[in-house]
Amino acid sequence: MTEQDILHELDETKNKFFLDLEHGYFHTAGSRITLFADKSRWAIVMEKTGYGNRSMSIEIDICYYSNCLAMEEYTLGFNNTGVELFSEIDFQNIGKGFELVDTEARFITIRDKKLPIEKDENKYEEKGIKIRDYDNPDHQIDFVALTRYLDEQYPELFRASDAEIHKYLPADLPKLMTIDKWHHKTYWEIYDSNLYGEDTRPSTYETFQMIAKILVTKDTTLWKPTLPPNNDWQNWPEAGSL
């Protein structure tokens, strides 16, 4: 395997999904990249956690790029899977009004852990999270704000587990590293690489050039990015806007 092989696979996503941090149906909260490789096999696993405004649930969207996926659908153009952390029915049990938390609700359960529902708006503002003001006369905490707040408070509960990530990976494929902060660009090959006014193919910028080099060499010390990290949800204001 070569760096060019890896970058070519990323560029040729076609109908597959390249991680989209500003998808109109998904209010992004957290995100992460995990790298796996041995002498001949490699995998990049990109994930984002957030509130889906169509599924009305807290989800992890996981996208795979690899030369060894155990996913039959991959050859048909599919490379993603999901993990539901808190369902629409779960939200109905703590909600009152449209996508608003009942003022009487006290806890939310994620991965069998009871997490307190913070009601102090100032705590949200400290994290840059704005409470929805429209159709919210009682200043209830909204589902999106709650998701983002809890993701920042308990990130380990809101990321895919090793078992969830390995669902479509060979069991013996070694894990190299995880990346929590990186420079990201929206990319949809199915349209045009210049859709956003620039060539956003993964092969054209440092983040994935560096990742490809790490996968080939297995040297994680090569991760020395100079581009500013921008994968924080606050940098993607269009997320969930549809």
Q: What is the pLDDT of residues 220-240, one digit of tens each?
A: 999 999 999 999 999 999 999
What's the average model confidence in pLDDT over 142-147? 99
Quote the CA–CA distance of 75 and 63 in Å, as a whole number: 14
Q: What is the pLDDT of residues 99-139, one digit of tens each?
A: 999 999 999 999 999 999 999 999 999 999 999 999 999 99
Q: Residue 66 class from Cβ within 10 Å (0-12 exposed, 13-18 middle, 19+ buried)?
A: buried
pLDDT at 107: 98
CB 30 within 8 A of CB 179: no
Quote the CA–CA distance of 98 and 16 in Å, as a whole number: 33
List the beta bridge partners of residue 48.
31, 61
Q: What is the pLDDT of residues 70-97, one digit of tens each?
A: 876 655 557 889 999 999 999 999 999 9
pLDDT at 196: 54
Quote the CA–CA distance of 164 and 44 in Å, as a whole number: 14
Give the three-class secondary structure for 47. strand
pLDDT band at 148 (very low <50, low <70, confident <90, very high): very high
DSSP 61: E
- Asked if residue 197 has pLDDT above 80, the reply is no
Quote the CA–CA distance of 66 and 36 in Å, as a whole number: 9
pLDDT at 70: 81
Instruction: Outline where the chain has alpha helix (H).
Output: 3-11, 88-94, 121-126, 143-153, 162-165, 206-217
CB 95 within 8 A of CB 74: no
